[in-house]
A = this chain, B = another copy of it.
Amino acid sequence: MAKAPVLTPQADDFPRWYQDLINKAELADNGPVRGTMVIRPYGYSLWERMQQELDARIKEAGASNAYFPLFIPQSYLTREAEHVEGFSPELAVVTHGGGKELEEPVVVRPTSETIINEYFSKWVQSYRDLPLLINQWANVVRWEMRPRVFLRTTEFLWQEGHTAHATYEDARDYAARILHEVYADFMVEVLGISVVLGRKTGRERFAGAINTLALEGMMRDGKALQMGTSHELGQNFARAFNTQYLSKDGRQELVWQTSWGVSTRMVGGLIMSHGDDNGLRVPPRLAPVQAVVMAIKGDDAVIAKVREIGDRLKAAGVRVVVDDRTDTPFGRRAVDWELKGVPVRVEIGPRDLEGGTAMLARRIPGGKEPVPVDGIAELVTAALEEDQAQLLRESRERREANTADVSTIGEALEASSSGWARIPWADLGPEGEAKLAEEAVTVRCLVAPDGSVPDSEDASGTLAVVGRAY
């Protein structure tokens, strides 16, 4: 008799598989207020690693971290017309503070363009103050009608970058730099997700932006997840908040701005990109635990050996955990590490000691085999490199295999039932986009024929990548 699966199989019910995995791998729980979430320690350790990798890249791109208040006067939101229209339905409003009704209600930030511009308008005086490159790590709140853990939550964690530049070109180039050097580099090289980079259509653009660049990942069910966005804000917020600088030739000019963000939603993207019916599979460069060294039994010599191997792997730069909790059955522990997606397990029992061997179990390609303990650090290091490459290759191949080049709306809809379609934007246009939207299919982004990001949606040969999305 085959044992009952730990998770609902993906093929049976993908959304239920996703929720099962989050519960069983102890990644997160639902919060008590509808749409909020509790990020449990293992789930949070994935987010912490994402933060570390992104923060280093953001600093490399010249931005400094700062912190702006959670509470924004309601009046700020209304200053940029499209912005308030976009966010009003999602706001949480504080009406009472310190036991009294507030004179002006305050909103809990859904994003910080407005409050940050209020300060940029004070801090920026002359062209010498530009570019001003700021990032913040923060929680934001957008009231969600159809919440789903990590993917759409009323409160989520993110970074939001906000910059001010002297010229249109400088702002445009910086938005693109963040897209490529920070986000795409991180998602491809660390998360192992073969994202598509493109620009959003007018319909999908951020409320208040003149251009939105996006990174879209294909999940294992063929749906798209927007993994991150980088916006050119033009002078919209600068006008609303009067953010001006004195130019070299002595004139007051409005600044040009960008904003860009990625969030805990990426944890959902990680799960749905790499997870399988046995649980999560974490790419080694991200993994908070790259290898676990397990004692099969509570024998003193075995315990000593797993600790020794743990030390050797640690010395080789591997993020390692020694699992010597032998009062819990080995099988249960092994299933748990598999659910958590730890790439490599080194298993040691009494019989291994004599032969100087260990079992090396690989979560990502699967399978296990006995290996000599002597060369274990080299074997594990090599396995981690292979695993990283394999996940990215799988992600790219899955996306390519499930993206169809089509020329009609009917074909685009058909392809969207199991993957994505690419269709000439000149053929689709805003009218075609509206028709697709009736069937819950959206233009994820516009790309150039060579796969690069087009300079404008009118650029010749521009393709629309369409699909269903989370």
Footprint of B on A, CB under 8 Å?
29, 31-33, 36-41, 43-45, 47-48, 64-73, 76, 88-99, 105-106, 108, 115, 118-119, 122, 128, 134, 138-139, 141, 143-145, 154-155, 157, 327-328
Contacts and interface: CB of A to CB of B under 8 A. Distances in A.
Contacts of A68: 31, 38
A95 B71 CA distance: 14
A67 B157 contact: yes
A93 B94 CA distance: 5
Nearest to A133: B41
Across the A-B interface, give the 8 residue pairs with the lowest CB-CB distance, nearest first: A98-B143, A41-B64, A36-B69, A31-B69, A39-B67, A93-B96, A33-B71, A97-B143
A119 B38 contact: yes
A66 B48 CA distance: 10
B145 A71 contact: no
A77 to B, nearest CB: 12
Contacts of A48: 65
Contact of A45 (B65, B139, B143): B65
B65 A38 contact: no
Nearest to A43: B66
Contacts of A90: 98
Contacts of A106: 33
Contact of A70 (B47, B72, B139): B139
Question: Is the contact region of chain A dominated by helix, strand, or loop, or is it mixed?
Answer: mixed
Contacts of A134: 41
A32 B66 contact: no
Looking at A92, A138, A328, which has the most chain B CB atoms within 10 Å of its CB?
Answer: A92
B66 A41 contact: yes
Contacts of A92: 71, 94, 96-98
Nearest to A118: B32
Contacts of A122: 29
A409 to B, nearest CB: 33
A60 to B, nearest CB: 15
Nearest to A39: B67
7 contacts: A31-B115, A32-B73, A36-B70, A39-B66, A47-B67, A48-B65, A88-B99
Contacts of A93: 94-97
Contacts of A33: 69, 71-73, 106
A122 B29 CA distance: 10
A327 B128 contact: yes
Given A65-B44, A119-B29, A157-B67, A95 B98 contact: no
A333 to B, nearest CB: 12
